[in-house]
Structure 1
Amino acid sequence: MRWNKLYALKSYMRSSLWVVPFFALVLQQAFFRAVLVFEQWTEWVPLWPLETEGTVAAMQAIISLALSFIVFTFGSLLVAIQIASGQLTPRIIATTLLRDNVIRFTVGLFIFTLLFAIGAISRVSTSAPSPIMWISGILGVLSLAAFLYFIDYSARLLRPVSIIHRVAEQGFAVIEAVYPGRLSDVDEQPQPDQPREKPGSVVLHVGSSDIVLAVDVKALTIQAHRADGVIELAARVGDFVSYGQPLFRLYGGAKEIPAKDLRASVVFGRERTIEQDPTFAFRVIVDIATKALSKAINDPTTAVLAIDQLQRLLRSVGARELRNEYVRDAQGRLRVVFPTPNWEDFVQLTCREIRIYGAENLQIARRLHAMIDDLEAVLPESRKGSLSIERNLLDQTIDKVYLLPEDAALAHIADTQGLGGSPKA
């Protein structure tokens, strides 16, 4: 299986709710038969306190509970997805809710318990071994405990602060993977050996028009090294590529690489994912903030919580080397040009929309000021130019939208809580 197909399969498996329950079904069948074999091989039989009628009633109760838990879980999950996507953003469905292992394994436990109890009750009339009854009872108790925990967990999970924090943590992982190096003391400059000449050939996209989800840069580097050429990606992760649009530009010996081998290094999909897209975590959190700032929802405090996490992410990005779009081989020769977001991309994505939609709110104006102050205090000098631009734009917007000078003066004060925190001396 080619890399792009395998990657797409893994991504689908991680974001599919049915996978764990399906494997729970298979595991239950194997485990049930293993218990029967164990009963035949050993003379040890734990005492079961119930008679046949009591056993049937107990198994029926476990089956009813497990079935009710499954119906309630899926029903409440569908409602939760609708509410969360409407009040936060639809992007959290695939990135957070469907990938949550607590939800997936809880449903898997319910399926396992239901099928095991059905198998146990079908053998009561044939003097079913008591280990099966004990295991069914234990599974029933575990399912009840898991259901009670799941209710509490779901209530906590669907809070905006929990969703935003989860997305931010995924963003940190991607940032560390895409930008592993720390920022040096010198300003970042484009490397001098970037291809300037006309490409020897151009590979076009021939699949369905979709978004670039991931790229196997390591495989492209090996191919370019073997061909003694340079491969340049015409689109970066997160870009929409239509049919017939340039996908690769090949220089030197790289033009001899088969187009199918190059296309196998790129994964496409209908919706952006976080795995290799460092700006998508920012995009999701900004969407949550702007949705909260809409007149229909009018929840600036949620937007303040979003800015808290955006500040953390910008701190991480600002302290990292962002020039890794030029990938070299072991001999230090340029082999792959892989476009990645720069510092200005991250800053503008973080500040612009929130400022436009929320500068008229005192909480947002003051929290944005506090975020910029903090970043300017901790990041290197080379990062402060973009931050200064955003500060000037924020000040101009505040002076324009506030009619009363007292309100404008208050909005210019940095406040890490938005409104209510004491300004720093």
Structure 2
Amino acid sequence: MATSRSRGSVNAIEQATLWDRMWQPFWVLPVAMTLGALAMALVLPELDKELRGWMFWVFPGGADAARGALTTIASATISTVGVVFSITMVVLQLASSSFTPRILGSFLESRVVQATFGMFIATFVFSLIALRAILNETDDSSGFVPRVSVTFAFLMAIGCVGLFLAFVRHITESIQVSKVISRIGDRTLRLIERVLPGQDENGGAGPTWSPTAGTPSTRIQVGERHGHLDEIDLPELVRLAGELEGVIVLERSLGAFVTHGQPLATFWGEGWDEDAQSRLASAMRLATERTTRQDVSFGFRQLVDIGDRALSPGTNDPTTANQVINELHRLLRVIVQRVVPSPYIADDDGVVRVVAQGSDVETLLTLSVQELAHFARDIPPVLRRLQLMLDDLDSCALPRYQGSIDALRETVASYAD
């Protein structure tokens, strides 16, 4: 076994915890807010009874007034939910057709959208439950009035108005292509800072690892699952390989699509069993949609897709394509000055336990240029912008990337001729 200097790369990528995954689905925050409103609707009327003697000033109306207020709030909020839902569907359709379907996940992950849905539904549920606390007495003066509950419903209604304004502002920004491109770039740049944290020319150097003769190996397949390799829990893989005193070599990179029967990894060593298989499967999460939690290339893929669609004959929008190239330029200028960490990941004792290929700069360069140059072959302003970007990258890139940049410059020049 060889030692590696890339131990720090184990924790360079954010590992999603169970808590993180629990809050990822769109419906979780609205459900949590609704359950909280339900609990408040059950507790506040009891508090009203205890404080009835001095809480008269909170809501001065009688039972009929309280009943009317809660009914109005409930009907108004549930009606507005339909409007919010309709607006959301229209924006999703516009974003999918105008930009790329691969940005829909980021829109639904927005806490503004989730909180708006949650607040309106929670207010509706709270108002309905609070209505039960109003006694149906003939004499309103003897009827119980949940003053604190009605006041709290008023506050929730005001909160709904505030979130609706924030939702409308968020919607208007979400359909602006410049905002969409910038948001994807910001998210990708934050991931680059974690995956490629250093600029040291020797940062990616380190001892290599190769299996010794006679070492047993076990081919690990994906089983019955399928999807894109969305997350890899590297610390867990290092622990697993260390416990078995072997090495796990990953056969697939982040973002790759795997289906049942395909190999995920190879374990070099002895002692691989069903428990180890289960632990590895849980450490390598497959998803139907790619995300930028760990996959740097997906951010570039989203940007290039927007540029490709802008250059299509049906759209013919070179300005948007140039905006995409500007954002790609911003990202590429960072990564061409950095070295990809060594794929050989060691444990605390300095022994290589996992071999995992990280983000490849040359692949990202090719992805960012080749498709756009092909679709822009009859659009000189876009080709000229690609040439200017590559010229600038050539002036600041590390020597190891000069060959790839020169090859791409020749490709762009061939389309321009």
Alignment TM-score > 0.5, same fold: yes
Deviation at 1:301, TM superposition (A): 1.5
Query: What secondary structure, in the 3-state scheme, does the structure 2 residue paired with 1:272 have?
Result: coil
Between 216-225 and 371-380, the greater mean CA deviation after superposition: 371-380
CA distance 1:121–1:193, shift in 2 (3 Å): closer
State the TM-score, normalized to the length of structure 1: 0.84
CA distance 1:324–1:36, shift in 2 (3 Å): farther
Unaligned runs of 5+ in 1: 1-5, 400-425
Query: What secondary structure, in the 3-state scheme, does the structure 2 residue paired with 1:321 have?
Result: coil
Deviation at 1:15, TM superposition (A): 4.4
Match of 1:202 among 201, 219, 223: 219
Query: What secondary structure, in the 3-state scheme, does the structure 1 residue paired with 2:340 have?
Result: coil
CA distance 1:44–1:303, shift in 2 (3 Å): farther
CA contact 1:318–1:343 (8 Å) conserved in 2? yes
The whole-number CA distance in structure 2 between the counterparts of 1:322 and 1:292 is: 31
Unaligned runs of 5+ in 2: 1-14, 137-142
Deviation at 1:302, TM superposition (A): 1.5
- In structure 2, the residue matched to 1:286 is 304
- In structure 1, the residue matched to 2:25 is 16
Query: What secondary structure, in the 3-state scheme, does the structure 2 residue paired with 1:377 have?
Result: helix
CA distance 1:187–1:177, shift in 2 (3 Å): closer
- 1:101-132 deviation digits (Å, cap 9, x = unpaired): 00000111111221222233444444322222
Deviation at 1:385, TM superposition (A): 2.2
Describe how 1:161-176 pairs up with structure 2 within 5 A: 161-176=178-193
The whole-number CA distance in structure 2 between the counterparts of 1:314 and 1:75 is: 38
The whole-number CA distance in structure 1 between the counterparts of 2:97 and 2:132 is: 45
CA distance 1:186–1:258, shift in 2 (3 Å): closer
Query: What secondary structure, in the 3-state scheme, does the structure 2 residue paired with 1:261 have?
Result: helix
Deviation at 1:361, TM superposition (A): 1.5
Query: What secondary structure, in the 3-state scheme, does the structure 2 residue paired with 1:264 have?
Result: helix
Describe how 1:201-240 pairs up with structure 2 within 5 A: 201-240=218-257
Query: What secondary structure, in the 3-state scheme, does the structure 2 residue paired with 1:279 have?
Result: helix
Describe how 1:253-268 pairs up with structure 2 within 5 A: 253=270, 255=272, 258-268=276-286
The whole-number CA distance in structure 1 between the counterparts of 2:66 and 2:46 is: 21
The whole-number CA distance in structure 2 between the counterparts of 1:192 and 1:287 is: 36
CA contact 1:187–1:382 (8 Å) conserved in 2? no
CA distance 1:139–1:187, shift in 2 (3 Å): closer
State the TM-score, normalized to the length of structure 2: 0.86
The whole-number CA distance in structure 2 between the counterparts of 1:199 and 1:211 is: 29
The whole-number CA distance in structure 1 between the counterparts of 2:81 and 2:369 is: 43
The whole-number CA distance in structure 1 between the counterparts of 2:243 and 2:130 is: 61
The whole-number CA distance in structure 2 between the counterparts of 1:52 and 1:204 is: 66
The whole-number CA distance in structure 2 between the counterparts of 1:13 and 1:167 is: 23
Query: What secondary structure, in the 3-state scheme, does the structure 1 residue paired with 2:411 have?
Result: helix
Alignment of 1:77 onto 2:88: yes
The whole-number CA distance in structure 2 between the counterparts of 1:196 and 1:234 is: 18
Cα RMSD between the aligned structures?
2.6
Identity across aligned pairs (percent)? 27
Deviation at 1:298, TM superposition (A): 1.5
Alignment of 1:88 onto 2:104: no
Larger RCO (alpha carbons 8 Å, 6+ apart): 2
